[in-house]
Amino acid sequence: MADEQLLEQPESKEVIAPGYTFGSVTDQISAVVLTKHQPLFWIASFGVGFCLLQLLLVSAVLLFTKGVGIWGIRTPVMWGFAITNFVWWIGIGHAGTLISAILLLLNQSWRNSINRFAEAMTLFAVACAGLFPILHMGRPWLAYWLFPYPNSMNVEPNFRSPLVWDVFAVSTYATVSLLFWFTGLIPDLGTLRDRAKHFIPQRIYGVLAMGWRGSAKHWSIYETATLLLAGMSTPLVLSVHTVVSFDFTVAIVPGWHSTFFPPYFVAGAIYSGFAMVLALAIPLRAAYGLQGLITDRHLENAAKVMLATGLIVAYAYIMETFMAWYSGSPYEQQAFWNRMTGPYSSSYWFLVFCNIVSPQVLWFKKFRRTPVLLFISSIIVLIGMWLERYMIIVSSLAQDYVTSSWGLFHATRWDWATYWGTIGLFLFLFFLFVRALPMISIFEVRTLLPQAKVTEEVRR
Amino acid sequence: MSSAGVYGVMAEFDSPTSLVNAARAAHEKGFRKLDAYTPFPIEELSEVLHLHKNKLPLIVLCGGILGGLTGYLLQYFVTVIYFPINIGGRPLHSWPSYIIITFELTILFGCLSAVLGMLALCGLPMPYHPTFNVPRFALASRDRFFLCIEATDPMFDLEGTAGFLETLEPKEVSEVAN
């Protein structure tokens, strides 16, 4: 007996808290949606999002009537906040695809309880990102000119331009994220259809579930589809921020023109994305009592990814500065010297604090296990990553080759209003999602339960 | 009892293990027109029911190749034939700058064909299916596991098949109206 006990494997670490059954998992997650009552947290967050969304609408209307001059963009800094926000938002989206695709391929089962809302986060972050280049166009109603289509002007987009690559990369990313997210939702929509008590929700979920009945034949095809989508999303997500970085690197502006932007941007994107995942997961699980499904282990793993990508970003900052010096190009050297000591130096050093210094506390397990501190840390990283993009775009454009053409950027209140407005749009869409759809993938959490394993003795 | 108007016979189980065992027993008995319904994918079930091959990877491959060709040929057509711009004497057929859009459209078409192909192979959307006539079947999306032997199976006869399912220790056996 004693020997047998010794031979027994140590109990594998379960991803979610013990004591759950298929039924209780289903009930707990679907109860968030199938109810008339929402916690105060939901009402407050949705309310904030809704108010900020109105701010976005006001600033957009003003922008359309008066033009982009309401923003602080003046020659030479014509990209200003709009492109900073675009890159920031699209970077945030990357964590969702990383969790849903790359961690699926790597067989990381802990992803199962965070992938759904992380994918929703991706979708809404890409929506916010997509707004900025369009608003920034000056004549946003002509945005469709970006796509190649037969037209009476007999002109076509220039396929050698990174800005056109960006259009294709971002629109493909948005479409694929939507497809992946919806595919993942189908079985859970079936669950909601079967559990809804009232006629209208039954019909709505029924139509969306398309008659999903959990047939083994369907599951087999479904699993293949998920795997293929994950396999294709993985290179896609890496390509998107690579293409975004081409917007900079292909230009010859000092501070932009360098070959290591693609990996640097991708690491930064995942860094800020995981910060957003934590910033959303920590309040959500507290408000809905989901600590058993999104456990401290999930938060810790996300914090570890954040730390790892943060270190890559730190390395990139150091290499960027080193290469500027090593290049021997006086313009490159001047650009970095201006960043560190010039008019934007306070932003630069604050960003170094946010992105390099502050995440070092994540080395300590105790810190990673304390949700409140983790939440604060993730907000600091989000601010830092925004400053990074601001720094790259504004400081490089403000002071380039010819001293006589230098000019500083000053954000106006409408710059800030548009930025906060998209945060409102994001919160509005995200909390609508939390209200209407299961924020945790029910069927994937079921597979995590110990009961879900087909036991060994009866197999032959 | 007659088999007319009957889709099949369905047995309900409360654990994945008993369902897999039952499915294996039914397959060994010679039933071929059978399907299982579960709240989450069970790998062993696909093995027992021999469901490992499907055409989806082929569909996605074709979709991806079509997307890649579309991307490349679109750019070739526009930059070389339809709207050639000579910039500093650089070649019109500047293939390195075509790579990104070719790649993006490959992924886009591949993913679209994965999702549409999955729906087509599953026969979805399908608003009505006879299994939904069984009242307890709503639990197939919660915590119960069902095995259904369909009336189209050559070995099917209502009483005999129901009797066979009873021997597999189910929670309940029910007839599925068509």
Indicate left, alpha or beta for A420 from its phi (over 0: left) and psi (-120 to 50: alpha).
alpha
pLDDT digits (tens, 9 = 90+) for B86-96: 888 888 998 99
Q: Is the pLDDT of residue A12 over 70?
A: no
Please tell me what DSSP assigns to residue B150: E
Closest in A224, A446, A458 to B57, CB measured:
A224
Nearest CA in chain A to B92: A160
Mutation site, A119, A189, A228, A247, interface B, largest B CB count within 10 A: A228
The nearest CA of chain B is from the CA of A360 a distance in Å of 36
pLDDT digits (tens, 9 = 90+) for A111-161: 888 889 999 999 999 999 999 999 999 888 998 998 898 889 888 898 888
What was the pLDDT predicted at B134?
86
Give strand pairing partners of B11.
Answer: B147, B173
Neighboring chain B residues of A232 at a CB cutoff of 8 Å: 60, 64, 107, 110-111, 114
A383 three-state secondary structure? helix
What was the pLDDT predicted at A180?
93
Distances (CA, A) of A364 to A129, A370, A374, A447: 34, 10, 11, 31
> Which are the contacts of B160, defined by CB distance < 8 A and separation ≥ 6?
none
> Which are the contacts of A30, defined by CB distance < 8 A and separation ≥ 6?
A191, A192, A195, A438, A442
CB A89 within 8 A of CB A126: yes
pLDDT digits (tens, 9 = 90+) for B46-103: 888 888 788 999 999 999 999 999 999 999 999 999 989 888 888 899 899 999 999 9
Distance between CA A351 and CA A355 in Å, rounded? 6
Mean pLDDT of chain A: 89
> Which are the contacts of B141, defined by CB distance < 8 A and separation ≥ 6?
A26, A187, A190, A191, A193, A194, A195, A212, A213, A214, B39
CB A309 within 8 A of CB A271: yes
**Closest C-alpha to B162, from A260, A417, B151, B154:** B151
Q: What is the pTM of this model?
A: 0.91
Amino acid at the residue A116:
R
Q: Is the pLDDT of residue A45 over 70?
A: yes
pLDDT digits (tens, 9 = 90+) for A56-84: 999 999 999 999 999 989 889 999 899 99
Neighboring chain A residues of B21 at a CB cutoff of 8 Å: 458
Q: Is the pLDDT of residue A10 over 80?
A: no
Please tell me what DSSP assigns to residue A404: G
Amino acid at the residue B107:
I
Give the mean pLDDT of A366-375.
91
Distance between CA A430 and CA A338 in Å, rounded? 39
CA B116 to chain centroid: 11
**Position A13 confidence tier, pLDDT thresholds 50, 70, 90:** low
Give the mean pLDDT of B131-144.
86
The nearest CA of chain A is from the CA of B164 a distance in Å of 20
Distance between CA B52 and CA B36 in Å, rounded? 15
Nearest CA in chain A to B95: A160
Q: Is the pLDDT of residue A397 over 70?
A: yes
The nearest CA of chain B is from the CA of A386 a distance in Å of 26
Distance between CA A322 and CA A163 in Å, rounded? 28
pLDDT digits (tens, 9 = 90+) for A151-196: 898 888 988 889 999 999 999 999 999 999 999 999 999 999 988 8
Distance between CA A406 and CA A331 in Å, rounded? 13
Number of Cβ pairs < 8 A linking chain A and chain B: 199
The nearest CA of chain A is from the CA of B136 a distance in Å of 10
Mutation site, A217, A234, A237, A239, interface B, largest B CB count within 10 A: A217
Higher pLDDT, A4 or A235: A235
Distance between CA B52 and CA A227 in Å, rounded? 14
What was the pLDDT predicted at A278?
93
**Do A172 and B45 make contact, defined as CB atoms within 8 angstroms?**
no
Q: Is the pLDDT of residue A6 over 50?
A: no
Q: Is the pLDDT of residue A456 over 70?
A: no
